[in-house]
């Protein structure tokens, strides 16, 4: 499908999951992170490139047709740290992609771009963003950046509002937000290979029983989840006591992200 595909954040939790799963989509898989990446396997290239370093990111994108952009901070931090890694860094990726003529970016956004909606409502990607912290704010910025680069330069993006991607859900909230690793792969592959996407926003979740997010508007991407959190429900509900429904982390879709962070 691609001569050279770039995976940023390749040393992170989801980067390590996708690294072996993306090799079949390209002749060369270029991997980048500021953390240790180990040794390059057949068909891999390793390039260390801090996202804050514009020149390094420009070199990183040379010869790349598509990007799976997972790089940056994945949890709540001080705004200055989020600004450098997630906001400035993502801008550098898009600008380098434009300069080198990359065709598509799969951007790891987050459900925390809409974390202040309540768990009692079902929302879709066309509704206004309601970020629940600096991290969610950076993902909202990334989606707006993607829209700008499509409108201005024709660079296509699928923004994936990833829920909770783990081997299994670990709490009651994840019964709604869980994304299995196999469904994560299906989601990224669909985002990379759909014929026309423009700028599409899609929630990353498995076929869970409890639904907070409606992906109907993004059905043209062709993502079809095959896993579900339901087999884990009984054990989780028996193990985790009910949270006081008046507490923000029980009432809001962003969970604990809505109350934690370096705020004074």
SS (H, E, C) the chain: CEEEEEEECCCCHHHHHHCCCCHHHEEEEEEECCCCCCCCCCCEEEECCCCCCHHHHHHHCCCCCEEEECCCCCCCCCHHHHHHHHHHHHHHHHHHHHHHCCCEEEEEEEHHHHCCCECCCCECCCCCCCCCCHHHHHHHHHHHHHHHHHHHHCCEEEEEEECECCCCCCCCCHHHHECCHHHHHHHHHHHHHCCCCCEEEEEECCCCCCCCECCHHHHHHCCCCCCCCHHHHHHHHHHCCCCCCCCHHHHECCHHHHCCCCCC
pLDDT digits (tens, 9 = 90+) for 211-260: 999 999 999 999 999 999 999 999 999 998 888 888 988 999 999 999 97
Q: What CATH number does the domain containing 153 carry?
A: 3.40.50.720
Please indicate, yes or no, if residue 51 is contained in any of the structural domains. Answer: yes
**Tally of structural domains, the chain:** 1
Asked whether residue 33 is assigned to any structural domain, the reply reads: yes
Confidence of residue 124 (pLDDT cuts 50, 70, 90): very high
Domain holding 62, by residue range, is: 2-258
Return all residues near 58 (Cβ < 8 A) that are at least 6 apart.
Answer: 92, 95, 96, 99, 100
Contact of 164 with 174, CB cutoff 8 Å: yes
Is residue 15 assigned to a domain?
Answer: yes
In a domain, 187, yes or no: yes
The pLDDT score that the predictor gives to residue 261 is 72
Domain membership of residue 120 (yes or no) is: yes
pLDDT greater than 90 at residue 140 = yes
pLDDT at 263 over 70: no
**Residue 263 resides in a domain:** no
- 264 falls within a domain: no
- Does 38 fall in a domain? yes
Q: Is the pLDDT of residue 264 over 50?
A: no
74's tokens: 């994945």
* Catalytic annotation, residues: 135
Region class of 160: left (phi > 0), else alpha (psi between -120 and 50), else beta: beta
Average pLDDT over residues 20-25: 97
What phi and psi, each to the nearest 5 degrees, are found at residue 182? -65, -40
pLDDT band, residue 207 (cuts 50/70/90): very high
Place 145 in a pLDDT band, splitting at 50, 70 and 90. Answer: very high
């Amino acid at each position: 499908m691609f001569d050279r595909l770039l995976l940023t954040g390749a040393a992170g939790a989801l980067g390590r999951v996708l690294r072996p799963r993306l090799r079949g989509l390209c002749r060369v898989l270029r991997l980048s992170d500021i953390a240790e990446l180990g040794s390059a396997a057949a068909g891999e290239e390793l390039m260390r490139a801090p996202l804050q370093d514009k020149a390094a990111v420009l070199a990183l994108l040379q010869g790349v047709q598509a990007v799976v952009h997972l790089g940056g901070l994945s949890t709540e931090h001080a705004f200055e740290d989020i600004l450098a890694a997630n906001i400035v860094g993502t801008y550098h990726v898009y600008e380098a992609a434009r300069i080198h003529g990359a065709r598509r970016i799969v951007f790891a956004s987050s459900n925390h771009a809409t974390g202040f909606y309540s768990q009692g409502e079902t929302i879709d990607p066309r509704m206004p963003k309601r970020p629940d912290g600096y991290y969610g704010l950076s993902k909202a910025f990334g989606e707006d950046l993607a829209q700008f680069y499509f409108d201005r330069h024709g660079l296509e993006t699928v923004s994936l509002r990833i829920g909770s991607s783990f081997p299994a859900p670990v709490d009651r909230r994840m019964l709604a937000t869980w994304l299995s690793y196999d469904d994560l792969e299906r989601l990224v592959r669909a985002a990379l290979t759909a014929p026309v996407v423009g700028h599409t926003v899609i929630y990353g979740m498995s076929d869970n029983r409890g639904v907070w997010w409606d992906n109907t508007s993004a059905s043209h991407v062709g993502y079809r989840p095959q896993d579900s959190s339901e087999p884990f429900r009984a054990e989780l509900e028996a193990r985790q006591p009910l949270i006081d429904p008046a507490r923000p982390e029980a009432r809001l879709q962003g969970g604990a992200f809505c109350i934690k962070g370096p705020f004074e």
